[in-house]
Structure formats: structure tokens, C-alpha cells
Amino acid sequence: MFTVYVYVLDTLADWELGYVTSELNSGRFFKKGAPRVSLKTVGASKAPIHTMGGLTVVPDCLIDEIAVSDTSVLLLPGANTWNDPKHGAIIKKASELLAVGTTVCAICGATAALAGAGLLDNRPHTSNGPGFLEMFAPGYKGTSFYVDEQSVTDGNLITAGSTGGLAWAKQIIKRLGVFEADTLEAWYAYFSTGKPEYFYALMQTLPSSNSAQQ
């Protein structure tokens, strides 16, 4: 079983997490025999946070409760509050997880937090566009490793810009191996284009028990 820890903080960008959390939590398109996934929200404290969209989220657990394991996944969403010093603890935990091979996924402002800690200096990554990390992450030295794509995977690190939520979700799902390859391609094609033929292609890739539930 995978445990996916979603770090939550004030002004969290709701749209960036929607695709990946919906699919991992529901399991609606999982392949037969895929491992179960448990989602837990993590906070710097147990105090409720308020997302950019006005939703209130009460963290399930604290940072020191994150299991350091190859079946753990850490999702770091964008927010306008990453420069608050209290979030340094989750970046320290992200560094620990990356070092042991645990999957860490950061999008938008969270990439600047990783960059500011030197975690993107020596590995391929992306963010909100060329120049963004230089502007918002003093001390960032990873310019030569920047890739101008919506989402970039480098081993156990998956990064994305603010418009890359769907591509980020695709790469995370691929990393976890919970979809069949043809399911993932049809899913991505449908949600990126809206063309109905991809929806039907998606349904045809599913185990019959899953298809009957749609």
C-alpha cells in the first residue's frame, strides 16, 4: 500500500492537486491488483488551513509522522505562503525523503521552496517558467538543470509549474504504477483534449468490474 502525504498550508492552490488526489484516492481507473493508496493531509500544526479557493482543511497528521519508506509519497502544492519559516520543517523532511529514494512531488511555489534549500541545484526539474526560480529562490544554482516543460520527472523527484497539474498527475500515477499504460495514455488524452473518443478508449482499457461502475 502507498501512503500519499499531502502537505497543506494556507493559500494552497486547489486546482494543482485535483487530478492526482482524485484519481489516487478513488482508484476508479486502477489496474487489476494495483496496490491500495491511502491519502493523508499533513500540516505544520493541527490547526485548520484555508485554501486559495476558500476551503478549510484540518491536517490528519504532523510532519514528524510521515513514514520514511519507499511506499511513501509526498505531495507539495503551490501556495503564496511558502516563505513562512514554519514550512522549513517540511522542506527538511523532503530532503530526507529524497535522499533515501522516497518519491517527492512539488508544483508551482513548492518548487521555489525546494530550490531555496538547494534541492534542485543538481537534478533536472521545472517550475513556473525560466527565470521564476532565480527570482523567488535566492541562492538557487540549478539553472543549467532547468527543463522548460509542464512537468519533469527525475527519478524520485517530480516537479511542475502552476499550469502543469494534469501532466504532474500523469507522471505521479506512472511512477506509482497503479494504472495500466494504455489507461494512463487514454486518461491523459481525454482530460487534456476533451475529445469523446478518448473517453471511450479509456473505458475500454479498464477491467470489466471498473467499467461497469462508471
Residues designated as active site: 108
149/138 Cα distance (integer angstroms)? 22
Nearest to residue 25, comparing CAs of 35, 39, 12?
Answer: 39
Grid coordinates in use for 173?
A: 500515477
The rounded distance, in Å, linking the Cα atoms of 117 and 137 is: 8
Q: DSSP readout, 33-91?
A: TPPPEEEEEEESSSS-EE-TTS-EE--SEEGGG---STTEEEEE---TTTTSGGGHHHH
Residue that the C-alpha cell 506509482 belongs to: 176
The three-class DSSP label of residue 126 is coil
